[in-house]
Amino acid sequence: MSQIVKAPDVRLVPARRRFLGTLGTATLSATAVAILAGCERMATAQGGSAANDVQILNVALGLEQEAITAYQLGAESGLLQKPVLDVAVAFQSHHKEHAGALEATIRKLGGAPVAPKSKDEYARALNAASLRNQTDVLKLAQRLERGAANAYIGVIPSFGSKDLAKVAARLAADETMHWTALTSALAEPLPKGALSFGG
């Protein structure tokens, strides 16, 4: 769980079709925190809406905590084989960075970050017991990533702070990137039309 992936060379598809490329070093963490931390003036500047922004961030944190555990359950299931396992661990590390950045911002705004639920609670809610093979795990991750991307897009209009709305858009972009990689790994087609996220 606490394992930190430095620069996993992860490819979900054979080199011949290497459209997914390689995941670079996880350097987002410090930057993400710094960006979120740059929003501290909002706490005072926005009057009543700062409290609501904290609520939105806390719901987002809940999503990230669930995603971290979902990848953990996937990684521990023994159902993931090598290149896919590395990708799962890398994506989990992104979610950990998201969670860390959200927690820091919630604290900056004077809020209290929600505590994660227990692993068993997540396992039950996500019906982890029904996972039988690698495809099942990938499909669960794919569903959660799409849900998370759409969740972030759907809360953007509710932020009082435009800085935080931008952060939500960046988080949505990360989740979309994960969804796209997982969709390719499942050899499923990409959406035919444009604007398939949000709405």
Per CB under 6 A, residues contacting ligand HEC are: 59, 151, 154-155
Closest contact distance (angstroms) between CB of 97 and ligand HEC is: 19
Instruction: Compute the distance between CA of residue 99 and CA of residue 130 in angstroms, rounded to an integer.
Output: 27
- Does residue 170 contact residue 102 with C-beta atoms inside 8 Å? no
CB of 164 to ligand HEC, least distance (A): 14
From the list ligand HEC, other proteins, none, pick the one residue 36 interacts with, judged by a Cβ distance below 5 to 8 Å according to partner type.
none
Among ligand HEC, other proteins, none, what does residue 132 contact (CB within 5–8 Å per kind)?
Answer: none
> Could you tell me the smallest distance in angstroms from the CB atom of residue 141 to other proteins?
13
- Which residues neighbour 123 within 8 Å (Cβ) at sequence distance 6 or greater? 69, 73, 129
Report the residue number, 5 or 177, with the smaller CB distance to other proteins. Answer: 177
Q: Which is nearer to other proteins, 134 or 150 (CB)?
A: 150
At 26, give phi and psi (nearest 5°).
-80, 90
Residue with Cβ nearer ligand HEC (89 or 151) = 151
Select from other proteins, ligand HEC, none the partner in contact with residue 135, using the beta carbon and a kind-dependent cut-off of 5 to 8 Å.
none
Return the residue matching tokens 């499942």: 186
What letter does residue 39 receive in the DSSP assignment? Answer: T
Q: CA 140 to CA 133: how far, in whole Å? A: 11
Q: Pick from 173, 161, 164: which is nearest to 198 by CA?
A: 173
Residues lying near other proteins in the complex (CB under 8 A): 52, 55-56, 58-59, 62-63, 66, 124-127, 143-144, 146-151, 154-155, 157-158, 199
79 binds, among other proteins, ligand HEC, none (CB under 5 to 8 A by kind): none
Residue ranges of alpha helices (H) inside the chain are 28-37, 42-45, 49-76, 82-108, 119-125, 134-155, 162-185
Sequence-distant (≥ 6) Cβ neighbours of residue 126 within 8 angstroms: 66, 70, 73, 140, 144
Cβ closest to ligand HEC, residue 62 vs residue 100: 62
CB of 142 to other proteins, least distance (A): 11
Give the nearer residue to ligand HEC in terms of CB position, either 151 or 167.
Answer: 151
